[in-house]
Amino acid sequence: MELAGESQQKNWLNPIELFKRKEIVKICAPMVRYSKLPFRCLVRRYGCDLAFTPMIVSDSFIQSQKARDSDFTTNASDRPLVVQFASKCAKDFADATELIVPFSDGVDMNCGCPQRWAMKAGYGAYLIQNPQLIEDMVKQTKQRVPNDFPISIKIRIHHNTRETVDVCRKAEHAGVSWITVHGRTIEQRSQPCSYETIKLIKDSVSIPVVANGDIRNDDDIAQVKEATGVDGVMAARGILVNPAMYAGYKSLPIQCLQDWIDISLSIGISYTHFHHHLMFMLKKVLGKQERRVFNSLTNLHAVLQYIEENFGITRKMPASF
């Protein structure tokens, strides 16, 4: 685990205080490869209240210092922060959580990842079929962390909504602080989210509920709030395309593009991740042929030159990248 970049200390509310004080909490999702420190720093500048790390496999995190340094980099301004672990064992989840308590403001259990490798290994959405294991992991972890350190879960929904409600109620009973609900089943990808199921869950528990899925702008936030009564929203694909969406921007502002370049070159990020984020951000800005050209660029110098020529943003090459 490492501290890096933007070291100025800031005041922040922990997640529980956020849910108590804000009408709706705006959250950046845990996205594998994408929601790393530089991107979290970017979205925090544009109205994001709470950011998650990418999903981290707990057993690797426990066993390897190299894995910890690779998977979890933060800094003093990266708050409030929730670390998400994929676990299938209560001890692993508790051990991993203990390691990150001093550097974060909560831990989340991934019970929603639908990828085949995760399901086959017993991680992610596999867990929603085993609410007793979720309970055990939450209870054991609560015994090992401070009383005010929140534990949350992020789930997908069952075809049978009663099963989903049962998972949520058992998780609440075990002591989770809030539940994030991706309103699709394991098999669904682009189908509309089930706001009806999210509302049912919200009406069935007394802890905060966060809606995830199809959140791209202020209109979507207002719609899901009205339809479900949730306490927070979580964006993934929408915030990749427009990291300024929570600040009310309907499309990517040029300043956000400038900020991404400045933050990335200051803190440090791999060229691949730096370029891929820009590919998302410019998806609706560039035409088809322009995207083809930009996406084919293979080095930092070429990207910075393209950005300068097309957007007037000038940034010198760093000494190392």
pLDDT tens-digit map of 257-282: 999 999 999 999 999 999 999 999 99
- pLDDT value, residue 7: 45
| Mean of pLDDT over the chain | 93
Catalytic residue (one of 41, 111, 113, 168): 113
- Percentage, residues of the chain above pLDDT 70: 95
Average pLDDT over residues 108-135: 93
The partner residues of 25 in beta bridges, in order of sequence, read: 232
pTM for the structure as a whole: 0.94
pLDDT tens-digit map of 71-100: 899 999 999 999 999 999 999 999 999 999
Measured distance CA(34)–CA(114) in Å, rounded = 17
Domain residues of the chain, as ranges? 2-247, 254-311
- pLDDT value, residue 279: 98
pLDDT tens-digit map of 26-48: 999 999 989 999 999 999 999 99
What is the second-level CATH architecture of the domain 2-247? Alpha-Beta Barrel (3.20)
Of 9-13, 233-237, 250-254, the least confident: 9-13
Query: Is residue 113 annotated as part of the catalytic site, yes or no?
Result: yes
